[in-house]
Structure 1
Amino acid sequence: MKIFDRKKELNAFSLEERRKDRTIGLVPTMGALHSGHISLVKKALSENDFVIVSIFVNPTQFDKKDDLEKYPRTFQKDVSLLKEVSENIVVFAPTVDEIYAGNLKSESYEFDGLDKVMEGEFRTGHFDGVGTIVELLLRTAEPNKAYFGEKDFQQLQIIRKMAETKDLPYTIVGCAIEREPHGLAMSSRNERLSKETREQASFIHKTLQTAKAKIGTKSVKDITDWVTSEFEKQPLFDLEYFEIADENTLTPALKIQDNQKYRAFIAVYADGVRLIDNLRLN
C-alpha cells in the first residue's frame, strides 16, 4: 500500500495513473475509520481501478477547539483496516503544515444559502472549512469520482455546489447512510459514547422514522413540536435542532408539497458528543 504525505507526490502519482487510462476514486476522511467509511471505499473500488483515501483531521472545519482535540486519531489501525479491504488503495495522510503551509485559515465560499441553515446556523465557519479541504483534496488527487456519505447530507449538497461553482471536473457521489445494528448512524464520534448511551441512541433514528410516518397526516409544525416533546422526555439526549427541509435547496419547509423531495434533519447532544442524522421523507 502506498502512503503519501506530500501534495505534489500524490498529484504526480495520480496524473501518471490517469495517463495510463486508470480511473481514480477519492474517499475523503478524517480517520478513525469504521464500517461506514469502508462502505464508501468498497463502492469506490467497484467503480474505479483504484481508490485514494485521505486521512486528515481538518482543523478549519471545527468551530470548537475541544471537539478538535478530542477527535479520535487511529492512523495505524486505519491503515491496517484498509489493507484488509484491497491492495488497490492509496492513502494520503498529510500534516496540517503540508495542507495549509503555515496559513491556517479557510477560503470564503458562496454556497447560495445552503450553508446558512441547520449546521451552518450552529457551527460558524464550518462549511468554509469543509469547502477548503475538499477543494484542495480534489485538485490534488484529481479523481474521476469522489464519494461522500449521506449522513452529512447538508455537507454533501454544499460540496456539490462548490464543485459546480468552481467548475471542477469531478463527479460527486452520495452514498447511503450506514447504521449500527440499533439504528444509530455510523460516525467516528460514536466511539466517545458510553455503552448505555450508544445503545439508547437508537431513539434518534426511531424518532426520524416516526416523523416520516406522520407526513401526510400531520403538519410540519405538528411534527416538529412532537419531536421536540419526545426529546424533552429523554434525559440522555439534548436536542439541538430538528428541521424538515427541501432536499435540494435545504430551505426549511412550511408545508409538504407533492412535487418536491424532503428530508428530516436532526442534531442531538449525548454524553457531550454531537450526533447528526437525516432521513428522506418522500
Structure 2
Amino acid sequence: MKIIKTIEEMKSISRDIYFDKKTMGLVPTMGYLHEGHKSLIAKAKEDNDLVVVSIFVNPTQFAPEEDLENYPRDLQRDAKICEELKVDYIFHPKEGDMYRENFSTFVVPGENMTDIMCGVTRPAHFKGVCTVLTKIFNIVSPQKAYFGEKDIQQLAIVKRMVEDMNFDIDIVGCPIVREDDGLAKSSRNTYLDSSQRKAATILRKSILRAKEMIDSGEKDAIRVQASIIEMIEEEPLAKIDYIEILDFETFERLKIIQKRTLISMAVYIGKTRLIDNMVIDLND
C-alpha cells in the first residue's frame, strides 16, 4: 500500500491504471475509519482490481460553528487499517493543494434536495461535499465510488450530481453498519461519554417503533412522525434537529406512507449531532 500526498502523483497513478485496463474503486472518507468504512472498502475490493481510499477532512462542508478543528484525525491509525484490508492507495492531499489561494469555483446541488433534512441547519454543507467530490473524482478517475447509506441525503445528492454532470462513475450505496446496540457507526460517536452513548440508542429505537407501526397497518405519516418525536423527547439528553418522512425517490414530504418511504432523522445527544435512517418498502 502507498500513501499519495500530491494531486500530480495521484493523477499519474490513475492514468497508469487506466492504460493497464484495470478497474479502480474509490472510497471517499474524512478519515478516522470505522466498521462502516471497512464495509465500503470490502465491497470495493470485491468489485475492482484496485482500491483507493481518500482521506481528506474537507473544510468547505463545515460551518464556522461546527467541529472542523476537533474532527478526529489519525493517519497512522487509518493507514494501518487500510493496509490490513489490502487497500492499494491512500490519497491524502493537503488542504492548500485542494483549495489553493483565491479558490472560487463550487458545485452547488439543486435546492429541491438541499432545502430539507441536513440542508436546513447546514445550508453550505452539500455545496462543500459536491465540490470536494468533484475534485476527488477528477483526480482519482475511479470507475466506481462507494458511499454508506447512513448519509442517505448525501448519497442521493451525489448520485444526482454524477448523473447531471455526466461523470462516468457508478455510485454504489452500501448498507448502514451498526454497533451491537443498533447505533449507526460514525466517527462522531467518539465524542459521546458513557451516558450520552447509552442515550444515543434512542435514534434506532424510535425508527424501529415507527416500522412496527407501519407494519401493523399505520399509513398516516403525521402519526408515525409524532410517535418518533414523542419517544425521542422522553430521552433527556436528546434534542431533535429534524424528523422527516419522505418519498424515497423525490424527497418530498409525505402525508400517507407509500411503497418506498424514507424515515430520516438528525438528533443532538449533548453537543454531538447524530443521524440515522431507514427505507421502508411496502412491497417487501
Q: TM bucket by the smaller chain?
A: over 0.9
Give SS of 1:138's match.
Answer: helix
Q: For structure 1, which segment, 148-157 or 223-232, has the greater mean C-alpha deviation from structure 2 after superposition?
A: 223-232
Once residues 273 and 16 of structure 1 are traced to their aligned partners in structure 2, the CA distance between those partners, rounded to angstroms, is 42
Aligned position for 2:35: 35
Give SS of 2:224's match.
Answer: helix
Distance 1:27 1:238, change over 3 A: same
Aligned position for 1:120: 119
Aligned position for 1:254: 255
Q: For structure 1, which segment, 215-224 or 45-54, has the greater mean C-alpha deviation from structure 2 after superposition?
A: 215-224
Per-residue deviation, residues 132-162 of structure 1 (Å, max 9, x unmatched): 0111111111001000000000000000111
Aligned position for 1:177: 176
Per-residue deviation, residues 234-268 of structure 1 (Å, max 9, x unmatched): 101111111111111111112123xx411100000
Q: CA deviation at 1:22?
A: 0.9
Aligned position for 1:194: 193
Once residues 191 and 76 of structure 1 are traced to their aligned partners in structure 2, the CA distance between those partners, rounded to angstroms, is 17
Aligned position for 1:19: 19
| Cα contact 1:245–1:251 (8 A) shared by 2 | yes
- Which letter does structure 2 place at the counterpart of 1:91? I
| Cα contact 2:202–2:235 (8 A) shared by 1 | no
Return structure 1 stretches of 4+ with deviation > 6 angstroms.
none
Give SS of 1:114's match.
Answer: helix
Once residues 102 and 193 of structure 1 are traced to their aligned partners in structure 2, the CA distance between those partners, rounded to angstroms, is 36
TM-score, scaled relative to structure 2: 0.95
Q: CA deviation at 1:112?
A: 5.7
Once residues 33 and 174 of structure 2 are traced to their aligned partners in structure 1, the CA distance between those partners, rounded to angstroms, is 16
Per-residue deviation, residues 63-102 of structure 1 (Å, max 9, x unmatched): 244411111111111001111111x420000111110112
Root-mean-square deviation (CA), in Å? 1.4
| Cα contact 1:197–1:236 (8 A) shared by 2 | yes
Q: Which runs of 5+ in 1 are unaligned?
A: none
Per-residue deviation, residues 155-203 of structure 1 (Å, max 9, x unmatched): 0000011111110000000000000111000000000101222133222
Once residues 281 and 105 of structure 1 are traced to their aligned partners in structure 2, the CA distance between those partners, rounded to angstroms, is 40
TM-score, scaled relative to structure 1: 0.95
Aligned position for 1:231: 232
Aligned position for 2:95: 96
Once residues 199 and 235 of structure 2 are traced to their aligned partners in structure 1, the CA distance between those partners, rounded to angstroms, is 10
- Which letter does structure 1 place at the counterpart of 2:179? E
Q: Which runs of 5+ in 2 are unaligned?
A: none
| Cα contact 1:4–1:92 (8 A) shared by 2 | yes
Pairing of 1:77-92 with structure 2 (within 5 A): 77-86=77-86, 88-92=87-91
Q: For structure 1, which segment, 219-228 or 263-272, has the greater mean C-alpha deviation from structure 2 after superposition?
A: 219-228
Aligned position for 2:67: 67
Q: CA deviation at 1:106?
A: 6.0
| Cα contact 2:109–2:130 (8 A) shared by 1 | no
- Which letter does structure 2 place at the counterpart of 1:224? Q
Once residues 179 and 77 of structure 2 are traced to their aligned partners in structure 1, the CA distance between those partners, rounded to angstroms, is 20
Give SS of 1:107's match.
Answer: coil
Once residues 101 and 29 of structure 1 are traced to their aligned partners in structure 2, the CA distance between those partners, rounded to angstroms, is 21
- Which letter does structure 1 place at the counterpart of 2:233? E
Once residues 83 and 103 of structure 2 are traced to their aligned partners in structure 1, the CA distance between those partners, rounded to angstroms, is 32
Instruction: Count residues in correspondence.
Output: 279
Give SS of 2:150's match.
Answer: helix
- Which letter does structure 2 place at the counterpart of 1:103? N
- Which letter does structure 2 place at the counterpart of 1:6? T
- Which letter does structure 2 place at the counterpart of 1:225? A
Once residues 103 and 69 of structure 2 are traced to their aligned partners in structure 1, the CA distance between those partners, rounded to angstroms, is 16
Give SS of 1:281's match.
Answer: strand
Aligned position for 2:246: 245
| Cα contact 1:60–1:105 (8 A) shared by 2 | no
- Which letter does structure 2 place at the counterpart of 1:69? E
Distance 1:210 1:105, change over 3 A: farther
| Cα contact 1:111–1:161 (8 A) shared by 2 | no
Q: CA deviation at 1:124?
A: 1.3
Aligned position for 2:202: 203
- Which letter does structure 1 place at the counterpart of 2:228? V
Once residues 140 and 232 of structure 1 are traced to their aligned partners in structure 2, the CA distance between those partners, rounded to angstroms, is 45
Distance 1:112 1:249, change over 3 A: farther
Give SS of 2:113's match.
Answer: coil
